[in-house]
Amino acid sequence: MNRALPTDLPIDDALVKEHGIRETEYAHALEVLGRVPSYTELGVISVMWSEHCSYKSSRIHLKTLPTEGPTVLIGPGENAGAVDLGDGLAAVFKMESHNHPSFIEPYQGAATGVGGILRDVFTMGARPVANLNSLRFGSLDLPKTKQLIPGVVAGIGGYGNCMGIPTVGGETRFHESYNGNCLVNAFTVGVVEKDKIFLGTAAGVGNPILYVGAATGRDGIHGATMASAEFGEDSEEKRPTVQVGDPFMEKLLLEACLELMQEDCIVGIQDMGAAGLTSSSVEMAGRGGSGIVMDLDQVPMREEGMTPYEILLSESQERMLLVVREGTQEQVKAIFEKWDLHAAVVGRVTDDGMWRCRWHGQEVAAMPVPLLTDEAPAYDRPQSRPTWLDEAQTLPEIAEPADLGEVLLSLMAHPDVADKSWIFRQYDHEVGTDTVIKPGADAALVRIKPGAYGQKDSKGTKYLGLVADCNGRHVYLDPETGTAGQVAEAARNLACVGAVPLGLTDCLNFGNPEKPEIMWQFAQSIVGMGQACRAMEVPVVSGNVSLYNETTVGDTATAIHPTPGLAMVGLYEGEIPKLNPTLPEAGLQIALLGDLGAHLGASLYLYNWHGLERGMPPAVDYPSELALHAALRALVNCREVPYLHDLSDGGLGVALAEACLGGVGATVSLPGSAERKDALLFGESHGRAIIAFEPAKLDQVKALIGQVPMTLLGVSGGERLSVQGILDLPISELDQAWSSTLPETLS
């Protein structure tokens, strides 16, 4: 049956609205173009002006973050950020979201999220060395949650394991605000010689543009616009917008790209991620201040009858766009053909500042590059502090529980605290044999072998410290204070493995920015992040914004807790730290570093035991926090302190219980008899850690920590955790509570 091709569809108000383009935005497009766009052009405008690609609600706020520093080689704006590791090496890293796709199709959504972030890193010439993830799910007893977790975990593990890249850490939390919208944030770090970093730019008039990798299909069309809209009750109908990944194809693509990068061919290289061929070509032209002309008939396709609209908007995976030096295209083709990958010349760089596409001998798109990049809409959206915060930030009178042992057991069983090995054991975290500190610790530590990445004159082995952190409850109750606290906690976790922070990447997950209260949360979160990063001298070098994480059922829209996920990269140099995941033996002195702390506001204890999300989250005292980090690094470097652990969810009580999970108990006592015992045990003040060391080393420890307060709590030993006068529990009960939550629920 004959039908009108999509290129011939008439443009009317309904079609413009269907593409998510506002009346004012469309009027701007008409003014610049001086005509009505074609159907293909309308699709291109739709994806390039989507929230996902244009950051139109967030750009003005992101510009306030500190992005420069002595270690920064490449900041935001490229495929990933890069920091200097010394000895001629750089770490390249980024974090991105794949939230909506993972909710719709858990396995492929999560898998292609991993594949996409891997491409962002090796596009820049870096060989990926480690992955992290940050996951959020709804209530654990919800059937949808029980469906999502296995699918997402299998997708992450399946892709990373096939690629041979270890997933060395991450975090997983649960809350009812994620019932209708899970979060899947993926992070990758790679290593490269710092003078061999490649950028995504189109330059050199006449230089050929090559499409390399997998063929184009109809999967993922309008994935970018789908990721820029709220969910509704029809979310399952969006399954066709989810991309399908092939990790084995990506492994070939990685090796082919890294081989080509050893030759003098590449001018620019860009991953085809969100909005596929459209975004990659437009962004390369934008960075290069150039134009591009493409012949869509030359694009390798795996499906018949694809239209220009479909070709340009497809988000088929495992594809790259290259600009190469004229005369090298056959050399480039030969390398990719060796790896059994498509390689086709699909266009040329021009100097007219136009983005043009031809198909069947006709020009089907012709638009100024700036219209799609710098001139994309940018909004300073209205903000309004939620009125409900007035009550939420006040802490009501609560009765102190009679049995704090029972409280501790319930906290150990809470899925935010409970054992996550059911998850991370499905990831290969040891492939490559460079994972020194494994999942489950405060931070991961990954070895960079001397000479393995082309570096010369190496002065010794280096280690990357890696951590992902976010406490949505803290951010929900005060976005500025809560986000600042997450930066501090990430750096504190790195300090527990001896690493000095070099840079941060973020994945900012929020609700609908068109709602003033949500926009206020976002803006305040950026303020807190900027404040903390400046105080701690940790630059933000890359990141991602994921908005519209909100689900409407009937007339009710539910937004996720504001979740600014952070991943921080640090550097440790020296011998492998002598650290244990739990207390290694009896007879060790246990001590608390930092103030006692008794801050109950926004704590997991309040939420879990009293059903309250109330109070202010703890504030960060930056001088004290930084002094603690220096002390922790000194203790790691001295190699005489076999156990360190920061305090976070569940406070001191949970930290002590976690220390005992290896089978060695502890007998401790708490000072501060005037304080509420529940506050001393379960308050979540920042700037604290517990350590354990031989009593004879006390003077040495005191000398290393300087002015950091230290409270001697007790000694390790026995088969119980005893907090004198407060609780006394067998380790076996603590372990049972901690280890059974996920397996029992998901089985």
Which positions ≥6 away from 603 have C-beta within 8 Å? 615, 650, 651, 682, 683, 684
Q: Confirm if 219 and 115 have CB atoms less than 8 A apart.
A: no
- Residue entry with tokens 């006394």: 728
CA 530, CA 291: separation in Å to the nearest integer?
35
Q: What are phi and psi of 402, to 5 degrees?
A: -75, -35
CA 134, CA 506: separation in Å to the nearest integer?
11
How are strands ordered across the β-sheet holding 563-573?
435-437, 444-448, 462-469, 563-573, 500-509, 540-546
Contacts by residues 27-32 (CB-CB < 8 Å, ≥ 24 positions apart): 28/375, 28/377, 29/371, 32/368, 32/371, 32/375
Count of helices and strands (H, E) across the chain? 26, 28
- Among 61, 98, 222, 561, the active-site one is 98
> Can you read off the two tokens belonging to residue 15?
């079609």
Which positions ≥6 away from 524 have C-beta within 8 Å? 478, 479, 480, 483
3-state class (DSSP) for residue 47? helix
3-state class (DSSP) for residue 324? strand
**Closest by alpha carbon to 175, among 415, 410, 413, 411?**
415
- Residue entry with tokens 């001393």: 680
Which residue spans within 594-726 are E strands per DSSP? 643-646, 666-668, 689-693, 710-716, 720-723
Q: Confirm if 244 and 112 have CB atoms less than 8 A apart.
A: yes
Query: Which neighbouring-strand residues pair with 216?
Result: 301
Query: Which neighbouring-strand residues pair with 128?
Result: 190
645 is catalytic: no
CA 358, CA 179: separation in Å to the nearest integer?
45
Q: Confirm if 690 and 594 have CB atoms less than 8 A apart.
A: no
98 is catalytic: yes
- Residue entry with tokens 């009317």: 12
Query: Which neighbouring-strand residues pair with 173?
Result: 136
CA distances from 728 to 74, 407, 657, 669, 731 (A): 52, 12, 11, 11, 10
Q: 444-448 and 462-469 as β-strands: parallel, antiparallel, unpaired?
A: antiparallel
**Closest by alpha carbon to 412, among 680, 644, 586, 609?**
609
- Residue entry with tokens 């005992």: 660
3-state class (DSSP) for residue 542? strand
**Closest by alpha carbon to 347, among 204, 207, 199?**
207
Q: Confirm if 313 and 276 have CB atoms less than 8 A apart.
A: yes
- Among 19, 28, 52, 175, the active-site one is 52
> Can you read off the two tokens belonging to residue 289?
């201040």
CA 137, CA 549: separation in Å to the nearest integer?
12
Side chain identity, residue 215: A
Q: 127-137 and 167-174 as β-strands: parallel, antiparallel, unpaired?
A: parallel
Query: Which neighbouring-strand residues pair with 503?
Result: 569
Q: What are phi and psi of 548, to 5 degrees?
A: 65, 30
How are strands ordered across the β-sheet holding 266-271?
266-271, 319-324, 208-213, 342-350, 291-295, 354-359, 362-368
**CA-based torsion, 220, 224, 225, 230: positive or negative:** positive
Query: Which neighbouring-strand residues pair with 363?
Result: 358
CA 87, CA 101: separation in Å to the nearest integer?
40
Chain Cα centroid distance, residue 337: 34
Q: Which residues are catalytic?
A: 52, 98
